[in-house]
Chains A and B, each alone.
Chain A
Amino acid sequence: MTSKINIFKKIWSVPFLVFSLFLATSTHISASEPNEEQILVPEADGVHAVDPHAKNADEEVDITAVAFEHILDSHSWHFWGEGHDAVSAPLPVILKGKNGIAFFMSSEFHHDNQGKVVVEKNGERFVNFEEKIYYASETPNEHGQYLNLTVVDKEVSVSNEAPLDFSITKNVTQLLLTAILLIWLFTSIAKAYQSHGVTSAPKGKQSFFEPLIVFVRDDIAKGNIGEKSEKFVPYLLTVFFLILVNNFLGLIPISANLTGNIAFTLVLSVFTLIIVNINGNKNYWSHIFLPHAPKAIWPILIPIEIVGILTKPFALMIRLFANITAGHIIVISLVGLIFVFKTIFISPVSVAFALFIDVLECLVAFLQAYIFTMLTALFIGSAVADHNEDGAHTTDDDKVIAGH
């Protein structure tokens, strides 16, 4: 009898957990109403920061702003709460200013991201506006912001200069933690191979990750690159697991959205661009500069081929960034429905759809890691492949085509 009750409790604890998770996210959003950290709401008569003490029941929650707050990088790791009640971990701010490098913790901004708190270092004054660091103006504007803001047609623009920002932001922190996690994980797996011997069956972590490693090695690397795949496997594995782990971590509400950040995807695609072009063989370059076409259309073809070198990694960058960001926006939008309709009764719909999207996102997390790695391997494969002199496809290419 007791065991039955336990099972009952276990079954019910799953949706309850999910629900409470969303409640946590929800309170986070709703709590943003009465405080001075309100996102800047542009109005027809100019920039208007909401006064925290003027309670306004009809005030709209800017879901878009909340969504972007979740998606964008920030200088502190925010957990919950708003304004002075916010619980967040301060992160180091590193700025390359005119007077050298300024280093301080983000807590010195006192949770401000509206340019109201000035931090002075090296004789330079900095403010945080929408998680971007600017040089502070001499005097505050009418809203207490040390910034030179102009609003044209509801669009805000900042005319203050900005220092080079090398801060350890939320995304950088997650990146470093993931790197440490991956190093720990895979070196311990490597040790397991050494201690248990090679011929014994894999155990624990080893047996979970070995099929993934073999999958990357055989299906992604060997399948797309062919015989020369071996030297690219470490790169592909690193890319695959870095994206995979961060895709999954990004699904957790308080974590950073690293793989949905264009800077991160940019760096990975630039690495792919470099690796593809460094390893490009004679055939690869002759395909670009001496295409198998009448010489008359070379002036058109060659520029297209040269642009093609860049569009491939560019597409990689956009694809990962857009897929992950889109998924996050959908989840936040679904939860945001509760605040748009201002009723708790919409929450079952929100939760059901958000749960569905979250499950879908788990698939997308794996799929996007796979696609990024697979396309990288495909580009490398096209750069190192041995084509025949007449430009005909080799049997390997035919196999790849037949395989799809």
Chain B
Amino acid sequence: MNLFILASLIEPSIGLIFWTSITFILLLVILGKFAWKPILNAIKTREKSIEDALASAENALKDMRELKANNEKSLNEARTAREALMKEAREMKESIIAEAKVKAQADAERILSSAREQINAEKNAAVAELKNQVASLSIEIAEKILRSELSSDEKQKALVNNLMKDVTLN
């Protein structure tokens, strides 16, 4: 192998340097403007949209979980509230019943006592009337008896004797 050909292997030729430089600069400018810029932008936009979609899915999942937790929480709250309400209602019911009972008892007592008083009063009145009637009746009887007893002298004497006897007995 002669060095002549070998030299042309490692000796850069001016023409190729010239054309490569020009072509490369043009290629860089044209591709940079019309190919790399739109392609890289498109890839970036897509990556961003995928990222956003993933993030929003993640967010949606998180939101859903939160919502579920909230639901659970409010359900629990509702349950406790219902229980409390029911308990309160029960207590109220019991207290109302108890109160009613007490009141009823008091009423009954009151009615009973007033009835008793009335009965007493009626009874007393009846007794008084009875007494009056008995008294007037006995007076009448006594009058009649007296009249009959005192119709003769003997009978008057006998009565006085009788009465006298009682007096001495006393």
- Could you tell me which A residues sit within 8 Å of B by CB distance? 40, 42, 64-65, 68, 71-73, 94, 130-132, 154-158, 164-169, 171-172, 175-176, 179, 182-183, 186-187, 189-190, 193-194, 198-199, 210, 213-214, 217, 233-235, 237-238, 242, 261-264, 266-268, 271, 325
Contact = CB atoms under 8 A, between A and B. Distances in A.
15 contacts: A72-B5, A130-B4, A158-B4, A169-B13, A183-B27, A183-B31, A189-B39, A190-B34, A190-B35, A190-B38, A214-B43, A233-B40, A234-B32, A263-B17, A264-B16
Contacts of B2: 40, 42, 154-156
Contact of A132 (B8, B12, B35, B40): B8
Interface string B6-30: 1011111111111111011011101
Contacts of B1: 64-65, 68
Nearest to B42: A193
A267 B39 contact: no
B76 interface: no
A183 B40 CA distance: 15
A199 B8 contact: no
Contact of B9 (A156, A175, A213, A262): A262
A23 B12 CA distance: 32
A169 B13 CA distance: 11
Contacts of B27: 179, 182-183, 238, 242
A187 B42 contact: no
B114 to A, nearest CB: 94
A208 B34 CA distance: 19
- Chain B interface size range: 35 or more
Contact of B15 (A40, A169, A235): A169
Contacts of A213: 39-40, 43
B136 interface: no
Interface in B85-115: none
Interface of B: 1-6, 8-21, 23-24, 26-28, 30-32, 34-40, 42-43, 45-46, 49
Given A187-B31, A194-B42, A238-B31, 14 more contacts: A64-B1, A72-B8, A158-B4, A166-B19, A167-B15, A176-B23, A194-B38, A198-B46, A213-B40, A214-B43, A217-B40, A237-B31, A262-B9, A262-B12
A130 B8 CA distance: 9
The binding surface of chain B is classed by DSSP as helix
Nearest to B10: A262
B13 A165 contact: yes
B9 A72 contact: yes
Contact of A238 (B6, B15, B32, B46): B32
A191 to B, nearest CB: 8
Contacts, number: 142
A266 B12 CA distance: 8
A65 B38 contact: no
Contacts of A132: 8
A64 B5 CA distance: 10
Contacts of A40: 2
Contact of A325 (B8, B9, B18, B24): B9
B6 to A, nearest CB: 8
B38 A179 contact: no
B26 A156 contact: no
Contacts of A166: 14-15, 18-19
A264 B40 contact: no
The 5 residue pairs across chains A and B that have the minimum distance between CB atoms? A186-B35, A263-B12, A193-B42, A263-B16, A190-B38
B16 A183 contact: no
A281 to B, nearest CB: 23
B3 A155 contact: yes
Given A64-B1, A183-B31, A169 B16 contact: yes
Contacts of B20: 172, 175, 263-264, 267-268
Contacts of A68: 1, 5-6, 9
Nearest to A166: B15
Contacts of B16: 73, 169, 171-172, 261, 263-264
A168 to B, nearest CB: 7
